[in-house]
């Protein structure tokens, strides 16, 4: 296998069973699953693998609410349960760590009416958050969490302890996935190479000074996936999705990395190894500069400092901004492109990709290999979102 940064020969022809366009969380897992299946893989990224939205700071892996249970929530639950096993295998084979921890999540309850809602969700979790020997809880507790690291005023009506939530260090997970792929003889990674032309019918792609020939392609280029997918289809009345800007920060504080993630009023505080805490994040549909941070991040940091007293004097070591892919239906966008069964979408996800990308990649590979497994929730499919969100009258 050629090193990731090796140059391409001027007129070289590259051939693979699967071309993966995009080296973020979706594309990396897609490449891992394809390589595991014994397929030859070329992964192409316009920048560097693991950068962009997937190279952020937070890494919070949250389940949806346990009420109103449906196929979509079950799919995400199963993904969150299976994720540590999937990551663990790659960690053992590479010797690296993604710093995954089933830390749980605390949601403070500042007002009494929120406690009543939380108690209903506790009963829902007792019914729905179970899989074989795996059972998780949504505990509603009085007072404040042990260690008094949360402002007591935020817990006036108690707090929720969710034992299913977890966290991972995004950049560490990217490094594990990339390192595993680079050890595989049937995988080639090409960075700083934008796909300039994609001929789905002929199975050809042009990048820089080289041509690629492929049998199947996974479109996993984040927010850039939407225009690529639409270019392969008849004109649609609405875009398939958009980029949403997120801002986050990394603080250095004396915060125990085993503590649960904290979430309140749209603010996430994620304890990480080494005494770091990630704070975020914004969700901006309109922005001038996709990579700059501003007063919106300042406001979130201030809320976090008020919520977690130990952060009030903590040093800000990094401020980060990036663009996340938000499909029109807000859910992941997976499945073959209508009219082009050899082109498979693997994108979207917005806020939940890190906890589900490994399983979504399995679903994408089902289409690549023509195998039949558990069905993907309709809201997660390309055809389903087109029917429901883009052209519902069709």
Per-residue pLDDT of the chain (394 residues; tens, 9 = 90+): 333 333 333 446 799 999 999 999 999 999 999 999 999 999 999 999 999 999 999 999 999 999 999 999 999 999 999 999 999 999 999 999 999 999 999 999 999 999 999 999 999 999 999 998 899 999 999 998 987 689 999 999 999 999 999 999 999 999 999 999 999 999 999 999 999 999 999 999 999 878 999 999 999 999 999 999 999 999 988 899 999 999 999 999 888 999 999 999 999 999 999 999 999 989 999 999 999 999 999 999 999 999 999 999 999 999 999 999 999 989 999 999 999 999 999 999 888 889 999 999 999 999 999 887 668 999 999 999 998 887 765 4
Residues 17 and 158 in one domain: no
pLDDT at 115: 96
Q: Rounded distance, CA 32 to CA 47, Å?
A: 19
Strands 340-348, 210-219: pairing is parallel
User: Does 7 map to a domain?
Assistant: no
CA dihedral 72, 74, 76, 78 (to 10 degrees): -150
E strand intervals along 177-240: 187-190, 195-199, 204-207, 210-219
Is residue 113 included in any domain, yes or no?
Answer: yes
Same domain for 346 and 236: yes
- The tally of domains found in the chain comes to 2
User: In this structure, is residue 222 part of a structural domain?
Assistant: yes
Query: Which H helix or E strand runs over 263?
Result: strand 261-264
Within 103-186, residue ranges assigned H as helices are: 112-128, 170-182
Residue 225, token pair as written in the block = 């996936």
Same domain for 255 and 183, yes or no, is: no
CATH number, domain with residue 301: 3.30.9.10
Query: What does the pLDDT read at residue 213?
Result: 96
Choosing from 305, 324, 343, the residue where a domain stops is: 324
pTM of the model: 0.94
Query: Does residue 151 share a domain with residue 113?
Result: yes
Residue 41 shares a structural domain with residue 142: no
**Quick one: 186 and 231 in the same domain?**
yes
For the domain that residue 234 is a member of, what is the CATH number?
A: 3.50.50.60
CB 249 within 8 A of CB 280: yes
- Residues 199, 151 share a domain: no
Beta bridge partners of 249: 279, 319
Helix spans in 190-269 (H): 225-231
CA angle 389, 23, 26 (to 5 degrees): 45
Domain-terminating residue out of 309, 324, 339: 324
User: Could you tell me if 343 and 159 are in contact, meaning their C-beta atoms sit under 8 angstroms apart?
Assistant: no
79 domain residue, yes or no:
no
> What pLDDT score was predicted for residue 358?
97
Shared-domain flag, residues 119 and 260: yes
Which structural domain range is residue 149 located in? Answer: 101-166+242-324
Least Cα distance to 29 among 376, 356, 366 occurs for 356
Same domain? For 319 and 226 the reply is: no
CA dihedral (363, 194, 229, 179) in degrees, to 10, reads 10
């Amino acid at each position: 296998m050629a090193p990731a940064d090796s140059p391409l020969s001027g007129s070289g022809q590259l051939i693979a069973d699967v071309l993966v366009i995009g080296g973020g969380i979706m594309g990396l897992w897609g490449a891992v699953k394809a390589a595991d299946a014994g397929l030859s893989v070329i992964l192409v990224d316009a920048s560097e693998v693991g950068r962009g939205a997937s190279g952020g700071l937070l890494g919070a892996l949250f389940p949806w609410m346990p009420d109103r249970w449906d196929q979509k929530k079950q799919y995400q639950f199963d993904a969150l349960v299976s994720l540590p096993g999937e990551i663990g295998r790659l960690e053992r084979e590479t010797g690296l760590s993604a710093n995954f921890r089933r830390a749980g999540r605390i949601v403070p309850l500042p007002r009494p009416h929120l406690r009543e809602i939380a108690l209903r969700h506790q009963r829902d979790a007792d019914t729905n958050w179970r899989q074989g020997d795996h059972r998780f809880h949504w505990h509603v507790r009085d007072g404040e969490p042990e260690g008094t690291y949360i402002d007591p005023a935020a817990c006036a009506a108690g707090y929720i302890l969710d034992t299913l939530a977890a966290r991972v260090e995004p950049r560490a997970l990217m490094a594990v996935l990339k390192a595993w792929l680079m050890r595989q003889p049937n995988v080639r990674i090409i960075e700083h190479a934008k796909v300039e032309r994609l001929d789905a019918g002929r199975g050809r792609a042009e990048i820089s000074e080289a041509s690629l020939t492929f049998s199947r392609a996974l479109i996993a280029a984040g927010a850039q996936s939407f225009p690529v997918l639409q270019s392969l289809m008849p004109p649609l009345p609405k875009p398939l999705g958009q980029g949403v800007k997120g801002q986050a920060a990394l603080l250095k504080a004396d915060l125990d990395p085993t503590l649960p993630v904290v979430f309140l009023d749209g603010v996430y505080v994620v304890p990480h190894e080494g005494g770091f805490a990630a704070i975020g994040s914004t969700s901006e549909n309109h922005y001038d500069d996709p990579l700059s941070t501003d007063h919106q991040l300042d406001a979130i940091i201030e809320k976090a400092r008020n919520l977690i007293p130990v952060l009030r004097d903590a040093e800000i070591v990094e401020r980060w901004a990036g663009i996340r892919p938000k499909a029109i239906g807000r859910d992941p966008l997976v499945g073959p492109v209508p009219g082009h069964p050899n082109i498979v979408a693997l994108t979207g996800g917005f806020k939940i990709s890190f906890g589900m990308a490994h399983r979504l990649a399995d679903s994408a590979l089902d289409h690549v290999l023509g195998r039949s497994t558990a069905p993907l929730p309709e809201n997660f499919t390309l055809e389903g979102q087109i029917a429901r969100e883009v052209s519902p009258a069709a």
